[in-house]
Amino acid sequence: MLNVKENHPIEFSAELLTKFAEIASRYPQGKEKSALLPLLHLVQAEYGWLRTEAMDKVAHFLQIEPIEVYEVATFYTMYFLRPQGKYNLEVCRTGPCCLVGAERIMQYIENTLGIKEGEVTQDGLFSWRGVECLAACGYGPVLQIGPDYTFYENLTEQSVAQLIETLKNKAQTEA
C-alpha cells in the first residue's frame, strides 16, 4: 500500500485541467512554460509524487519537451521523484533551528518511526527528511507536512509524539 495510485494510468481530471489552463493564462502568450512549477505542485498534490508519465503529460500540455520538465523536477527539492509516506514530515535542519534543538527532534522522529531519513514506514503512512530553513526560525524547531504544507512550530518530543498519534488516527478514520 505504498501508493495506491502508483500503477494506475495517469489521467488528469477535467477539474485539474481547468486549473492548469487558468494558471497558464497568467503569463504572456508564448510564455506558458512559466506555468511549469505551479503545475507540478498541483500534480504532486494529486498523486503524491511525480511519475515520469505524469511529467510527460505536463510537457504535452505546455507544449514543451519532456526533458524541460525533468530538468525542473530534479532541480527543486519540493518535487518527489519517488513515493513518500502519506505523511511526509519535513523538519528544518538549518543553523537557527539547531540552536533550539532541531537535531534532537530529528533523532526522536527517526527513533519513533523506526525509519531513516528518506525511508517510508512499512504501512506507507510516514516518511521524514531534514529540509533547509523554512523562514520560521523564531518559532523553531519546526516541521511541515505537504501537500498543504501545514506548519508545526516550537516542537518538543511530546508534541511530536502527539502529532504522530493524531496522524495515525486520522489515517485510520479515513481508511
Residues engaged in binding another protein (CB under 8 A):
26, 28, 31, 33-38, 40-41, 62, 64, 68, 71-72, 75-79, 93-96, 98-100, 131-140, 144, 146-151
Rounded CA-CA distance 72/68 in Å is 7
Alpha-carbon gap, residue 160 to 126, rounded angstroms: 13
Q: Give strand ranges (E) for 13-162.
A: 87-92, 126-131, 143-145, 150-152
Contact pick of 34, 94, 112, 121 for ligand FES (by CB under 6 A): 94
> Residue 43, Cβ neighbours under 10 Å: how many?
24
Q: Which is nearer to ligand FES, 38 or 96 (CB)?
A: 96
Strand partners, 120: 127
Q: Which residue has the cell 532541531?
A: 102
Q: How far apart are CA 128 and CA 143, in angstroms?
A: 10
User: Minimum distance between the CB of residue 39 and ligand FES, rounded to whole angstroms?
Assistant: 27
**Contact partners, residue 132, CB within 8 Å, separation at least 6:** 77, 92, 93, 94
**Binding segment toward ligand FES, per CB under 6 A, in 109-117, 136-144, 151-159, 163-171:** 136-144
Binding mask 48-87 for ligand FES (x = CB under 6 A): ----------------------------------------
CB of residue 163 to another protein, shortest distance in Å: 17
Task: Determine the interface stretch with ligand FES among 25-33, 46-54, 95-103, 155-163 (rule: CB under 6 A).
Answer: 95-103
Report how far residue 97's alpha carbon sits from residue 136's, in angstroms, rounded to the nearest whole number: 9
89 touches ligand FES (CB under 6 A): no
Q: Candidates 69-77, 130-138, 149-157, 163-171: pick the segment binding ligand FES (CB under 6 A).
A: 130-138
Q: Which residues bind ligand FES (CB under 6 A)?
A: 92, 94-97, 133-137, 140, 142
